[in-house]
A and B are shown apart, each in its own frame.
Chain A
Amino acid sequence: MRIAMITWEYPPRIVGGIARHCEGLAKALSKQGHEIHIFTLDFPGAPDYEEDEGIRIYRTRSEIGHPNFLTWVLLFNHFIEKRMAGASRLVNFDVLHVHDWLTAPCSIGFKHFIKKPLVFTAHSTEHGRSGLHIPDSFTIDGLEWWSTYEANKIIVASGSMKGEVCGHFNVPDSKVDIIPNGIDASKYEGSVDKGAVRSRFGIQPHEKLILCVGRLVPQKGIEYLIHAVPIVVRRRPEAKFIVVGDGWYRDHLEWIANATGHRWRITFTGFIPDWDLVQLTKSADMLVVPSIYEPFGIVALEGMAAGVPVVATQVGGLTEFIQHDRTGVLAYPRNPESIAWGIDYVLSNQGHADWLVKNARDIVQKAYSWEAIAKRTARLYEEVIEGKR
């Protein structure tokens, strides 16, 4: 099949999980013999066009900009659509696959232009991310609804996300398929010099490294982990915390960290390179995912693949691949005491933590390889192309 995948983020333009999702899916589909064309936005230093492992990547520069966010979105959609129209003179696409609402306007327009089916992956919803408190949010919510309406088929990564999409947008159950996110477990193979990595991040050999990775935005719940720090260190004075990522909420989180009186135990690294994150994750004693909204939670899956015990909150997709006390530990969301309990529980019994890690790795390898996810996605493409849906 010739597949046009449209996404506003694709490496090296990485914001959250969408870029990694698109890259993993595209590479796996390409290995399975499909022709993949990625239409995305430009990024400094990345070429306008390149071929990577057989994938054709078209990075489009918005020739004009505008300070208003939604106007900017419409403008870059226009330029991506022009690029797709140019490519369609040379390539007869079989199916379009758009990821999230940001590139939905160009994808919907292009769907009608080339008269081919459109698949929409809803990675999250505005309603779930931040509620509908401001006019921009209502516009985004409307664009998300439009995407679900125009799509021949919708993909979501978890049962909770399916409930959210069907319930909020009144989409028929049969129109939505659950295909989870995948992971490249090979990235976590091989050994690392944990002592050297930990030392580089200021962690002494006797200290316990508790890692948290994510965009620094409210829905990631990182403030609840920070509020848990004083509770944890009462029993675990050797605990140190590293928060990887950045975002508009960072200043506020650092302010909370200062207010706990334990700021010196908490390191905010900002964004770090992917290879560094892999090494750091493998060198940690635990990964904590304290989200309050999480359609899937790929960072937890990455922790499981890296061989570290995962403590996560009982929200959204996290509850669908983390079995409490079997493949990880679930804590209550928005609850520092519960998060602290989960951390202490894992640190209290190394043998049990090792058992959790072993179970988690088995699950990741069996159910979340990109090869398996790509096969399921390709079957869905075939169905929409054949008009079965």
Chain B
Amino acid sequence: MSFTPPPQVPEEFRVLSMMHNIGAISPERSLSAEELAQWTGMDVATVKSYLQKLREGGYVEFLQMAGAEKYIVTRIGIMKVLTLYS
């Protein structure tokens, strides 16, 4: 039996964590992929691919806010983020 070394925190998880810490847990503080790209220093396409993966896991939710595409962290997304800190 071989054990693999523990992985680093996945990149999409870092995006989720940042969304949470910024406060994107309610619609009025939702963030667009472009805004997240600015916060994280990633390019928009990369952020969008991570958001897609997070949506599939149920950790973020997509919203249409005043014609703009925005994202918030869901309840289980919050709980998942908090596992990093406890």
- Residues on A lying within 8 angstroms of B by beta carbon are 9, 12-16, 18, 42-45, 62, 64-69, 71-72, 100, 102, 124, 129, 215-218, 223, 227, 246-249, 251-252, 256, 270-271, 336
A71 to B23, CA, bound (A): 12
Asked if A248 contacts B84 (CB within 8 A), the reply is yes
Within the complex, the shortest CB–CB distance from A21 to chain B, in Å, comes to 12
Taking a contact as CB atoms under 8 Å apart, the answer to whether A67 and B22 are in contact is yes
At the interface, yes or no: B26 with Cβ under 8 Å from chain A? Answer: yes
B82 to chain A: closest residue by CB: A15
Q: Does B10 contact A (CB under 8 A)?
A: yes
Identify A102's interface contact among B9, B13, B24, B85, CB under 8 A: B85
- If A67-B21, A252-B7, A256-B4 touch, whether A216 touches B83 (CB-CB below 8 Å) is yes
Q: Please determine whether A227 and B1 come into contact, CB atoms closer than 8 angstroms.
A: yes
Complex interface: chain A residues within 8 A of B76 (CB): 246, 270-271
- Asked if B80 is at the interface of the complex by the 8 Å CB criterion, the answer is yes
Question: Among A9, A65, A252, which residue has its beta carbon within 8 angstroms of that of B6?
Answer: A252
With both beta carbons as reference points, the residue of chain B lying nearest to A220 in the complex is identified as B83
A215 to B76 alpha-carbon distance, docked (Å)? 12
Q: Which residues of A contact B75 (CB under 8 A)?
A: 12, 43-45
Residues on A with beta carbons closer than 8 Å to the beta carbon of B85: 15, 69, 102
Known: A62-B23, A64-B23, A248-B9. A69 touches B17 (CB 8 A): yes
* B:11-33 near A, CB below 8 Å: 13, 17-18, 21-26, 29
B78 in the interface (beta carbon within 8 A)? yes
Q: Is the interface of A mostly helix, strand, loop or mixed?
A: loop
Q: B58 CB to closest chain A CB, in angstroms?
A: 8
| A225 CB, min distance to chain B CBs, angstroms | 13
CB neighbours of B24 from chain A (8 A): 65
Contact A271 B79, beta carbon cutoff 8 Å = yes
Cα–Cα distance between A185 and B4 once the two chains are bound (Å):
39
Contact assessment for A247 and B26 in the assembled complex, using a CB-CB cutoff below 8 Å: no
Which single member of A44, A249, A251, A271 contacts B26 (CB below 8 Å)?
A44
Distance in Å: Cβ of B5 to nearest Cβ of chain A: 10
Of B26, B39, B40, B83, the contact of A15 (CB 8 Å cutoff)? B83
B45 to chain A minimum Cβ distance, whole angstroms, is 20
Q: Which residues of B have CB within 8 Å of A256?
A: 4
Return 19 A-B CB contacts under 8 Å, by A number.
A9-B82, A12-B75, A13-B78, A15-B79, A16-B83, A44-B74, A44-B75, A67-B17, A67-B18, A67-B39, A68-B21, A227-B3, A246-B83, A247-B80, A247-B83, A247-B84, A248-B10, A251-B10, A252-B7
List A contacts of B83 (CB < 8 A): 15-16, 215-217, 246-249
Residue in A45, A69, A246, A336 whose beta carbon sits within 8 Å of that of B21 in the complex: A69
- Cross-chain contact B10 with A18 (CB below 8 angstroms): no
Compute how far the CA of A262 lies from the CA of B64 in the bound complex, rounded to whole angstroms: 42
Q: Which residues of B contact A13 (CB under 8 A)?
A: 78-79, 82
In the complex, what distance in Å separates the CA atom of A248 from the CA atom of B23? Answer: 19
Asked if A215 and B10 make an inter-chain contact with CB atoms under 8 angstroms apart, the answer reads no
A385 to B82, CA, bound (A): 33
B1 to A, closest residue via Cβ: A227
Q: What's the Cα separation between A127 and B85 when bound, in Å?
A: 13
Please indicate the chain A residues that have their CB under 8 angstroms from the CB of B74 in the complex: 44
List residues of chain A with CB within 8 A of the CB of B21: 65-69, 71-72
Inter-chain contact A65/B22, CB cutoff 8 Å: yes
Question: Which residues of B27-49 are within 8 A (CB) of A?
Answer: 29, 39-40
Contact for B86 among A12, A64, A71, A215, CB less than 8 A:
A215
Nearest residue in A to B76 (C-beta to C-beta)?
Answer: A271
Q: How far is the CA of A44 from the CA of B83 in the complex (A)?
A: 17
A44 and B25 in contact, given A256-B4, A271-B79 (Cβ under 8 angstroms): yes
Which residues does chain B contribute within 8 Å of A227, judged by CB atoms?
1, 3
Roughly how many angstroms separate A65 CA and B36 CA in the complex, as a whole number? 13
In the complex, which of the residues A16, A66, A67 has the most CB atoms of chain B within 10 Å of its own CB atom?
A: A67
Known: A44-B26, A65-B23, A271-B76. 5 other contacts (CB 8 A): A44-B74, A65-B22, A69-B21, A129-B86, A249-B83
Q: Is the CB of B17 within 8 A of A336?
A: no
Q: Are A14 and B9 in contact (CB under 8 A)?
A: no
